[in-house]
C-alpha cells in the first residue's frame, strides 16, 4: 500500500510517499481502508520532533475514517463492511496518512448511515477535544453562555455546534469572513476578535458574561477570560502559543470563583465513548465537519504547512 512516512525529523519536506506492507488485524485492532485522515497541528509536532513517535520511519495522522476490511479474532463489536471513524493514532501506533490503517477498537466508533467518511476523517481530534472540554470538563448546561475563542478553527467550529446542541447561548470569536457560516452552525453571536471593545461585546452578547469559556490561546486570553467570566465560570484551556501563561490581575479570577482546567485529548480514558456520542450528533445532523480543503497523499507536506500557516474555516483532510 501507499503511505506517507517521515524517516527523520524536519520540515514538511521530510514527508514522502512509500510503498509498504498493508497492516494486519492483530490483538484488538481492525484494519480500516482510509477514506479520510484529518490534518492536525499535532501531526506536525510528531514530524518536527517535539513529540517523539513510537517508531521511525513513522506514518503520521491521528485521525482516520473509512470501511473496516479486516477484523481480529478477538474483536466482536466491529465487522467487515462497517463504516467507522477514530482518533488517537500516531502516539503509540502508525497513523492514518495511508491507504490502510490498523486501529485499536478502544479509539473507534461506528458511523451512522449517511455520514460522509471523508468529512468524518477530520472529526476525531477536534470533536473529542471540544466534547471533552465543554461537556466532560466544564459541565456545560442548557441556558448557560458558552464563549468559544477561535470559532472558525477545527475545534472551534465543532465546539460551537456542540454548545448549541446542548442548549447553551453561544458566543464565538472569529475573523469577519467566517461570521455568517458560524451563525449557520449555531452561534447566537459572532464577534471580531480584533475589535477594541471585545470584552464589552462579550458581556452584552452573553447577557452579562460567560459561564463556560473554551480557550485555545491561553497566553493571549486567560486574563480576558477572567474579566468576562460570570461567577462560577469554568475556563478550559486547550492550547497556547507561548508556554508562559498566567493572570495579570488574579483578583478578577478569584472574586468569581473561576475554575481553570488544562486538558489534552490524549488523556481521554476511553476515546470510543465520546466518539460514539459525537457519531450520534453526526447522524442526526446536529454536527457537521466543515472541510476547507482535501489533499492527496503526495500533497501531505503542503497540507501540514497549511494547517499551521493558513486561515480557513473547519478542517483539512488527506484523502488516500
User: How far is it, in rounded angstroms, from Cα 96 to Cα 53?
Assistant: 14
CA distance readout (Å), 113 to 62, 119, 283, 318: 23, 13, 7, 22
Nearest CA to 62 out of 39, 85, 28 is that of 39
Spell out the domains of the chain, with CATH numbers in brackets: 2-123+290-318 (3.90.180.10), 126-266 (3.40.50.720)
156: nearest Cα among 316, 314, 304: 314
State the DSSP string of 210-262.
EEEEEES-HHHHHHHHHHHEEEEEEEEE---SSS----SSHHHHHTTT-EEEE
SS3 318: strand
Only one residue has cell 493571549, namely 220
Q: How far apart are CA 264 and CA 132, in angstroms?
A: 9
Cα gap 53→60, rounded to integer Å: 9
Give me the phi and psi of 54, to 5 degrees please: -75, -15
Are 247 and 234 in contact by the 8 Å Cβ rule? The answer is no
What's the mean pLDDT in 263-288?
96
Taking only the tens place, the pLDDT of each residue in 171-226 is: 999 999 999 999 999 999 999 999 999 999 999 999 999 999 999 999 999 999 99
Per-residue pLDDT tens over the stretch 221-239: 999 999 999 999 999 999 9
Q: Does 55 have pLDDT greater than 90?
A: no
Query: CA 189, 193, 196 angle in degrees (round to 5)?
Result: 105
> What is the SS3 assignment for 31?
strand
* Contact (Cβ atoms closer than 8 angstroms) between residue 89 and residue 127: no
Minimal CA–CA distance to 35: which of 124, 117, 122?
Answer: 117
How far is 175 from 189, CA to CA, in rounded Å?
13
Distances (CA, A) of 33 to 101, 182, 192, 258: 7, 32, 41, 45
Q: Which residues make beta-bridge pairs with 50?
A: none
Tens-digit pLDDT profile for residues 63-73: 999 999 999 99
DSSP state of 98: B
Residue 54 reports pLDDT greater than 80? no
What cell was used for 109?
Answer: 466508533
The whole-number average pLDDT for the span 267-285 is 97
The per-residue pLDDT for 90 is 86
Amino acid at each position: 500500500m501507499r503511505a506517507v512516512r517521515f524517516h527523520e525529523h524536519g520540515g514538511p519536506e521530510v514527508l514522502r510517499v512509500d510503498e509498504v506492507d498493508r497492516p494486519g488485524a492483530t490483538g484488538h485492532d481492525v484494519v480500516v481502508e482510509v477514506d479520510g485522515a484529518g490534518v492536525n497541528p499535532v501531526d506536525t509536532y510528531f514530524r518536527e520532533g517535539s513529540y517523539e513517535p513510537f517508531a521511525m520511519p513513522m506514518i503520521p495522522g491521528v485521525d482516520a475514517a473509512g470501511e473496516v476490511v479486516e477484523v481480529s479474532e478477538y474483536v466482536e463489536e466491529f465487522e467487515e463492511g462497517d463504516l467507522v471513524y477514530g482518533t488517537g493514532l500516531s502516539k503509540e501506533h502508525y497513523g492514518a496518512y495511508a491507504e490502510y490503517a490498523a486501529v485499536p477498537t478502544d479509539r473507534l466508533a461506528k458511523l451512522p448511515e449517511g455520514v460522509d467518511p471523508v468529512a468524518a476523517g477530520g472529526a476525531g481530534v477536534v470533536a473529542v477535544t471540544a466534547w471533552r472540554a465543554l461537556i466532560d470538563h466544564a459541565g456545560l448546561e442548557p441556558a448557560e453562555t458558552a464563549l468559544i475563542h477561535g470559532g472558525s478553527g477545527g475545534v472551534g467550529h465543532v465546539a460551537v455546534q456542540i454548545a448549541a446542541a446542548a442548549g447553551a447561548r453561544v458566543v464565538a470569536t472569529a475573523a469577519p469572513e467566517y461570521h455568517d457560516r458560524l451563525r449557520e452552525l449555531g452561534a447566537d453571536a459572532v464577534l471580531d476578535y480584533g475589535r477594541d471593545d471585545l470584552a464589552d461585546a462579550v458581556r452584552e452578547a452573553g447577557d452579562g458574561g460567560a459561564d463556560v469559556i473554551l480557550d485555545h490561546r491561553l497566553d493571549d486570553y486567560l486574563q480576558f477570560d477572567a474579566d468576562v467570566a460570570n461567577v462560577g465560570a469554568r475556563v478550559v484551556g486547550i492550547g497556547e502559543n507561548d508556554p508562559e501563561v498566567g493572570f495579570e490581575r488574579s483578583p478578577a479570577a478569584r472574586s468569581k470563583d473561576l475554575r481553570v482546567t488544562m486538558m489534552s485529548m490524549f488523556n481521554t480514558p476511553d476515546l470510543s465513548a465520546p466518539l460514539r456520542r459525537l457519531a450520534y450528533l453526526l447522524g442526526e445532523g446536529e454536527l457537521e465537519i466543515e472541510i476547507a480543503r482535501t489533499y492527496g497523499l503526495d500533497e501531505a507536506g503542503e497540507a501540514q504547512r497549511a494547517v499551521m500557516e493558513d486561515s480557513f474555516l473547519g478542517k483539512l483532510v488527506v484523502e488516500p
